[in-house]
Chains A and B, each alone.
Chain A
């Protein structure tokens, strides 16, 4: 042994910094038994199973919490230690007061008992089991109070559901002050279930002991975080979903949607056959008929009204390959650029804003920067509900000492953890960000070297800010001047800051402006292109990033290439055998308008319920009913399907192969865990087959071949991407060559556009601000338990967790308007009205309201109006002038 070595069971081990005896032993392949330990969490040290003998200590030491040190000679399995372990285990099985009563289930704990020739005393009748929660259950008779659940809840999710009541032998696991799982603040992330060594805490899926006949690694189909899953299935049905332990994105964690809300896959109302409209009815037809009909209709309408009378909405729920093929079909065969994706109605402003000022329309940072960040700003995003796994990571970062500024009109959960919460009036990001910039510069809290070397427009920016008055901004934003200054000083004192942002910036008429003015802060502080800092937009859907990357935009081809780029056109000529027009096509809202006018005659909508999710629902319904031909690819008969002429049954996330690109530009391999039901097929296959019917020579045999073509179309972004390289955690673009490792931090050397651009944009009130007779501003958004329009989650037990949309109203407003908690109200904007239950909540500021849009019967989007960001065409969902009154009917 040298001075950097120790010995375990006679084997020499080289000491690694900060490593415990347990970890060192593991490297040597020596397994030391544990009960209360889990890698990555603070060692609890309570079960004492991992005790080992050390030459440096008289008493045995806990291997899980004792650092290995030079010169140590450790023995892990001496007869004395093995006897101690057996004795400790028998303490749980005392005749008089058994801590543990068996329930017949084989668990880590019963496995240990067997290893030490011990048997549980009795079989519990499980009379006290808490089954109050739709997913989770707790059996106190099998709880050994090891506290792994408690630690997981604190150190992974940061939810603090569990507590220990009583002392010593009286200590019991409790749900805080609540009696049951259902009443507790549990968010059903399932982290405790994974770790419970006795199965005392378990869930609906794990109570089902059916053994899996296949286990598939794939990627979650819900939000843009892109968690990796391990799906257990039997006979074509999903049994259980586990997180991939070492996934770089989710680090062994999942949320209530990703882990549990999977039963929609096998819902009885899945679409299983192509359907054709006959009058007001829909009739099943064969795939061949459907494909023929689509091909024929597309060609006829093109012949009758021209190529620009057709359009396509590619889906952010589907794969990159499907998105790529749909835009290719419309661009190369129909010859129109009327191709857009639902990013238009969420993050189009983000992509455009980022691309304008930095050169890349995507996150500059990655999720790994969350743990590296010293200071985090969250603006217009509610990660613990909408991106739960990232939300949990941010919460942990803050609990571990990162500073946090939350900028949001609502007192979101993370605001409780923030150093400063700037609770601004909805839609006033631009003046607030300008004010922060003004204070940063005025107090010289900026990175001058960075600005000199990498940024342009500083002089003009300073002049522009000189003319702004903090007091005036305070009055516009309703945020006090001193709070603005305090926030700026906090950010400035750390300099490099991670800016996490969301739809609260993007979905406004000043959406693009909000994003660009936030980027101003990213540049002043020298954050963009640096580790642990930069811009990190939280993308909405599983593949909304990818959908835009693939060219699901009317003005850009795959890889954000301008339509008129001569090199690209040359490349397309050889790869596609045809090029699209140079003129950009229409965006989604423009296509809807055009359809309403009668200028668009046919639409292909891939996996998107525009009726429920797009703004101004009444107008959308009018437009769709005006179409000559509408193709919809869907899982379920959605609101939008009512207007279709042909409906193609689609494969869901767990039923197909392809790739998803998450919010940090990570392209990950999606694999089928179960087959699609009936005749449902992956979207890309249907598109390929229609193209063939139209006469194209498309003979992709699998999505991997599509990806190979994507790599050739956009070599700067995807040149190095191929399925053979997408093992494990995939690749983060830009990845230009087959030997390129992918990019964690974009703009690391210099901004992609050359220099970063500071923008001088002043506040322009939206048409929804200050509307006479409509005294409230409504924000629409999402809840943890449901996903967007709820098509999937409403068909799972999540439905039992949250049963309806409710309107959050500040108690002061509610009292003034005589609205009781739980009372239905008529909510009315200039664009439409609906009836919804009110809920008193202090999460919302006075004079603002919040409403989710998960249920079609809520008609949230009847309320949202026609106003778009003029640059990105993203609708304003986050500030709508409304009035309300109690519903007395």
Chain B
């Protein structure tokens, strides 16, 4: 396989594609809403209406508007249908022939779509994730070719550094710096790991990327491997994502068949193979050192850093570990250049970020927006605000993040602004809460999550989360006193100051941020207890 052949495949695929493409989402969310039957019926309808020569039905990845699935979108007209049932299929196809449209027609120009900026999700909803040819037809793997033949590993690392890309898994560590560290390590063996152990409640960005455009992630990993000098990659995916695993397996096989993965990629001396490792249901395995332990076949527990995985990671070899979304940015940066990428976003947060918009909000789903967009724009304009009443808060960053009060909605969404106000970017979960939501209960929900997901290795997290959960339960149940509140605050600080890994260090964040912005809710529950006490005595 060389460039000519790659372009030949792309051309052949484009020539093969019909002029009208009916895209039907086959990701987990829409599949749960019976989108596979929709797709079948659409295909039957095309055949029966005799449109097969110019219309094709394509199963595609996630279009983002998951709350309104199953979604069907038709190119080139960009017609959108929402909440499609299998019975709607004939009329959708009929409409292509000038018939009357019955199903709910969506608005593809709705701010939910219009305000997005798609880099990572550029192909999702447009290509069949199970076809490498479709990926190649939209320019896929040309960045890898460019990386191998037009750039040196050092130039690639420089390009990634210059782009300003930061880790999308939550930490926000500069990706180029990480790559540079691994690249400069001596070591006869190095590894690239893609962290697909997405575990925050309400977060499904990575699942969507893996299910919708697996080759984009593989291409990013291969470029990373070439840049840092690794010839072996692992994708660690949680077992709860069977469709993602299945599509990755298929994608790896397809790429190997074309000589795009494996030995002598594009007939160059560069070898890179990718294996999948499946998680076993522990949230903490998203923490990089625990993830590495898990790949090694050990109990998935964090180990102290340093040494960082970049110096001594998988089987003690230098290891680059990046999140799915981070790696999904790489092909675009190599293709379009660091200058283009760094022109997007804010001074310290470049590019775009995908968010999973959930909770009390009209437009549930995935959005990709440029860094620096205001929270208000996301929640009110794109998300359409809460269905009833008013917004009270937005939780970002999952169990490690915090609750941002409605009064702060004008804050720009970037790494630094979010952490400044006690929350964090996190991996991209964004849960909207309305006035009816009890913030103490929200804090307790996350604490219970952390308690259950604590690995048990370090004592503050193991025992501290139990005690924090107990105190919060006491407050929620109106059994707490002011002493308990003092204890809660002190314990939060202690767990934060003393835990070993990120899980424990950030576990108190939902409590701390709700205490910061919604302390009155805690006080009310405590006063209710005092009232009960005084009434009974």
- Told that A91-B467, A169-B456 touch, could you supply 7 new A-B pairs with CB distance under 8 A? A46-B500, A59-B497, A87-B490, A147-B457, A168-B452, A168-B465, A171-B462
Contact of A167 among B282, B303, B505 (CB under 8 A): B282
Interface pair B498/A60, CB less than 8 Å apart:
yes
Whether A97 contacts B466 in the complex (CB less than 8 A), given A84-B494, A168-B454, comes out as yes
Q: Is A145 an interface residue (CB 8 A)?
A: yes
Instruction: Point out the residues of chain A lying under 8 angstroms from B496, CB to CB.
Output: 59
- List which B481-516 residues lie within 8 A (CB) of chain A: 490-491, 494, 496-500, 505
Is the CB–CB distance between A48 and B500 below 8 Å? yes
Interface string of A27-61 (1 = CB under 8 A from B): 00000000000000011111110010000000110
Residues of chain A within 8 A (CB-CB) of B455 are 167-168, 171
Contact B457 A44 (CB under 8 A): yes
Docked CA distance A65–B307 (Å): 9
Question: Which of A45, A92, A171 is within 8 Å of B304, CB to CB?
Answer: A45
Instruction: Tell me if A88 and B494 are in contact (CB < 8 A).
Output: yes
Q: How far is the CA of A99 from the CA of B464 in the complex (A)?
A: 12
Complex CA distance for A347 and B333, rounded to whole angstroms: 68
Within A578-609, the residues touching B (CB, 8 Å) are none
Cross-chain pairs A/B with CB under 8 angstroms, 20 sampled: A45-B458, A48-B458, A59-B496, A59-B497, A62-B304, A65-B304, A66-B306, A88-B460, A88-B494, A91-B463, A91-B467, A94-B463, A96-B470, A168-B453, A168-B455, A168-B461, A169-B462, A169-B463, A170-B456, A171-B457
Which residues on B sit within 8 Å (CB–CB) of A91?
459-460, 463-464, 467
A43 lies within 8 A of B304 (CB): yes
| CB-defined contacts of B299 to chain A, threshold 8 Å | 163-164
Docked Cα-Cα span, A88 to B354, in Å, equals 38
Chain B residues whose C-beta falls within 8 Å of the C-beta of A43 in the assembled complex: 304
Task: Give the docked Cα–Cα distance between A88 and B467 (Å).
Answer: 12
Cβ-defined contact, A45 with B500, below 8 A: yes
**Counting CB contacts under 8 A, is A715 at the interface?**
no
Q: Which of B282, B303, B463, B464 has the most chain A CB atoms closer than 10 A to its own CB?
A: B463
Determine how close the nearest CB of chain A comes to the CB of B307; give it in whole angstroms. 9
Chain B contacts of A96 at CB under 8 A? 470
Chain B residues near A736: list those with CB within 8 A. Answer: none
**Contacts of A99 on B, CB cut-off 8 Å?**
463
B178 CB-CB contact with A under 8 Å: no
Contact in complex: B456, A92 (CB < 8 Å): no
Give bound CA distance, A167 to B282, whole Å. 9
- Closest residue of A by beta carbon distance from B451: A168
Main secondary structure of the interface of B (DSSP, over half): helix
Q: How far is the CB of A168 from chain B (nearest CB, A)?
A: 4
A577 to B461 alpha-carbon distance, docked (Å): 77
Distance (whole angstroms) from the CB of B496 to the closest CB of chain A: 8
In the complex, how many residues of chain A place their beta carbon closer than 8 angstroms to a beta carbon of chain B?
35
- How many angstroms from the CA of A809 to the CA of B459 in the assembled complex? 49
Contact yes or no, B499 A48, CB < 8 A = yes
Q: Give the distance in Å from the alpha carbon of A59 to the alpha carbon of B455 in the complex.
A: 21
Could you say which of A48, A51, A60 has the most chain B C-beta atoms within 10 Å of its C-beta?
A48
Chain B residue total in the interface (Cβ 8 A): 32
Smallest beta-carbon distance A149→chain B, Å: 14
Q: Is A166 an interface residue when CB atoms closer than 8 A count as contact?
A: yes
Q: A119-147 toward B: CB 8 Å interface, digit per residue (1/0)?
A: 00000000000000000000000001101
B303 touches A168 (CB 8 A): no
A672 at the B interface (CB under 8 A): no
Name A residues whose Cβ lies closer than 8 Å to a Cβ of B: 42-48, 51, 59-60, 62, 64-67, 84, 87-88, 91-92, 94, 96-97, 99, 144-145, 147, 163-164, 166-171
With A167-B452, A167-B453 in contact, is A92–B459 under 8 Å at CB? yes
Which residue from chain A places its CB closest to the CB of B494 in the assembled complex?
A: A87
Q: B381: shortest Cβ distance to chain A, in Å? A: 36
Tell me which residues across on chain B come within 8 A of A60, comparing CB atoms: 497-498
Q: What CA separation (Å) do A45 and B304 show in the bound complex?
A: 6
Q: What is the CA–CA distance of A60 and B500 in the complex, to the nearest angstrom?
A: 10
Q: Which residues of B contact A51 (CB under 8 A)?
A: 497-498
The residue of chain A having its C-beta at the shortest distance from the C-beta of B465 within the complex is: A168
Q: Which residues of B contact A48 (CB under 8 A)?
A: 458-460, 498-500
Q: Inside 8 A of B464's CB, which chain A residues have their CB?
A: 91
Nearest-CB residue, chain B, relative to A58: B497
Measured in the bound complex, the distance between the Cα atoms of B459 and A97 in whole Å is 14
Q: Which chain A residue shows the least CB distance to B461?
A: A168
Q: In whole Å, how far is B49's beta carbon from the nearest beta carbon of chain A?
A: 55
What string of 1s and 0s marks CB contacts (under 8 Å) between B282-322 and chain A?
A: 10000000000000000100011010000000000000000
Distance to closest chain A CB from B261 (angstroms): 28
A146 to B, closest residue via Cβ: B459
Residue of A42, A46, A62, A169 near B466 (CB, 8 A) is: A169
> What is the distance, in angstroms, from B419's C-beta to the closest C-beta of chain A?
12
Instruction: Give A43's nearest chain B residue, CB to CB.
Output: B304
**Contact across chains for B466 and A168 when beta carbons are under 8 A apart:** yes
The answer to whether A62 touches B456 (Cβ under 8 A) is: no
B414-445, CB under 8 A of A: which get 1 and which 0?
00000000000000000000000000000000
**Are A169 and B304 in contact, with the CB atoms below 8 A?**
no
Residues of B within 8 A of A84 (CB): 494, 497-498
In contact, B454 and A62 (Cβ under 8 angstroms): no
7 nearest A-B pairs in the assembled complex, by CB-CB distance: A171-B456, A168-B454, A65-B304, A45-B304, A91-B463, A46-B458, A169-B466
Report B-chain residues with C-beta under 8 Å of the C-beta of A88: 459-460, 494, 498
Residues of A within 8 A of B498 (CB): 48, 51, 60, 84, 88
Report the minimum CB–CB distance from A172 to chain B (whole Å): 9
Alpha-carbon gap, A560 to B509, bound state (A): 75
Contact A167–B459 (Cβ < 8 Å): no
Quick one: closest A residue to B454, CB to CB? A168
Alpha-carbon distance A625/B515, docked complex (angstroms): 92
Roughly how many angstroms separate A65 CA and B453 CA in the complex, as a whole number? 24
Distance (whole angstroms) from the CB of B494 to the closest CB of chain A: 5
Distance, CA A94 to CA B304, complexed state (A): 26
Which of B303, B454, B461, B497: most chain A Cβ within 10 A? B497
Which residues of A have CB within 8 Å of B494?
A: 84, 87-88
- Which residues of chain B come closer than 8 Å to A67, judged between CB atoms? 306
A83 — nearest CB in chain B belongs to which residue? Answer: B494
Decide if B497 touches A164 in the complex (CB within 8 Å): no
Whole-angstrom CA separation of A866 from B162 in the bound complex: 81
Please indicate the chain B residues that have their CB under 8 angstroms from the CB of A42 in the complex.
Answer: 303
Q: How far is the CB of A176 from chain B (nearest CB, A)?
A: 12
Q: Mark B266-277, 1 if CB is under 8 A from A, else 0.
A: 000000000000
B499 touches A94 (CB 8 A): no
The reply to whether B457 and A46 form a contact with Cβ atoms under 8 Å apart is yes
The residue on A at minimum CB distance from B470 is: A96
Contact B500–A62 (Cβ < 8 Å): yes
Closest to A164 in B: B299
Q: Mark B171-213, 1 if CB is under 8 A from A, else 0.
A: 0000000000000000000000000000000000000000000
B471 to chain A, nearest CB (A): 11
CA distance A51 to B505 in the complex (A): 14
CB nearest neighbor in B for A401: B316
Shortest CB distance B491–A (Å): 8
Question: How many Å lie between the Cα of A164 and that of B452 in the bound state?
Answer: 15
Q: How far is the CB of B308 from chain A (nearest CB, A)?
A: 11
CB atoms of B456 and A166 under 8 A apart: yes
Question: What chain A residues lie within 8 Å of B505 (beta carbons)?
Answer: 59
Residue of B nearest to A35 (CB): B459
Q: Cβ of B497: which chain A residues have Cβ within 8 Å of it?
A: 51, 59-60, 84
A621 to B121, CA, bound (A): 88
Shortest beta-carbon distance from B495 to chain A in Å: 9
CA distance A59 to B502 in the complex (A): 12
